[in-house]
Amino acid sequence: MAILNDEDLAFWNENGYVVIHDAVPVENLTAVIDEVWAFLGMDRQDPDDWYHDPMRKGGMVEMYQTQGLWNNRQHARVHEAFSEIWGREDLWVSMDRANCKPPMRPDKPEWDHDGMIHWDLDTSKRPIPFGVQGVLYLEDTTEDQGTFQCVPGFHRDFEDWVRRQPADRDARKPDLTDLQTKKIPGKAGDLLIWHRLLAHGNSANTSGKPRLAQYITMSPAHFDNSTARQARIKLWRDRLNPSGKAFPGDERRWEADNDPAQLTDRGRKLLGLDSW
């Protein structure tokens, strides 16, 4: 049975994002939440304990290869949703992080993060190939809880918008003048997939609870590219973060004490160990 119906696909085409409910089982969500708090070394019941290293401003959690993260990456419903958007099943999954964004507090101003709207690519370079990104809501997340936000439909208007911008525009952060952002609350287990040209980000957390999420995306596999494939396998096998300044990693190497995540047959293909 298809994950996305005609209404979902029409919404995707119009708005540039779509939400898949109950993308993974509750126990999968609980496992990653437990891993996040263990990684951070924080008491989830004590709000005063949410504001110290290794927490990062903005909430990025520098763990990448835990069993819980991989169980969500290799879950059938997640893969099938991305497959329907790409129109093919032979995909590789990203090895991205979790997010735990604590609330803003008057007595913790150094941890304030107002959120942002950006792109995760240089939009000045052409051509811009099709691509998608995704985030899994690990807990129910309200509009004031630092949730995902975007400019709906911007992927359709992007080229016209660019023509109206100065030549020296910021290629990673749009001028939001005349653009309407929207915060997208969600339920635990919601998987939100968005078009890579959709200006997006997380928002300010003015609630009393942290925002918990896992980033997941998929793109076409390149099994014949041995260099890329072996690099991906090494990340999984050695519990490493991807290269690049966007993924600084964990100086403590907390994950090094764990065994490599166990992979299903689907997971082996999504990593690149096996071909589709």
> Domain containing 189: what range?
6-271
Average pLDDT value for residue range 225-234: 98
28 occurs within a structural domain = yes
Across the chain, what does the average pLDDT equal? Answer: 97
**CATH number of the domain to which 152 belongs:** 2.60.120.620
185: confidence class by pLDDT, cuts 50, 70, 90: very high
41 occurs within a structural domain = yes
185 occurs within a structural domain = yes
- The fraction of the chain above a pLDDT of 90, given in percent, is 97
Residue 183 has pLDDT above 90, yes or no: yes
In sequence order, the β-bridge partners of residue 214 are 98, 136
The reported pLDDT for the residue numbered 1 is 80
20-75 pLDDT tens trace? 999 999 999 999 999 999 999 999 999 999 999 999 999 999 999 999 999 999 99
Total domains in the fold of the chain: 1
List all residues 6 or more positions away from 267 whose beta carbon is below 8 Å from its beta carbon.
70, 73, 74, 261
165 occurs within a structural domain = yes
1 occurs within a structural domain = no
139: confidence class by pLDDT, cuts 50, 70, 90: very high
Cis peptide preceding 127, ω within 30 of 0: yes
78: confidence class by pLDDT, cuts 50, 70, 90: very high
276 occurs within a structural domain = no
The Cα 132–Cα 85 span in angstroms is 9
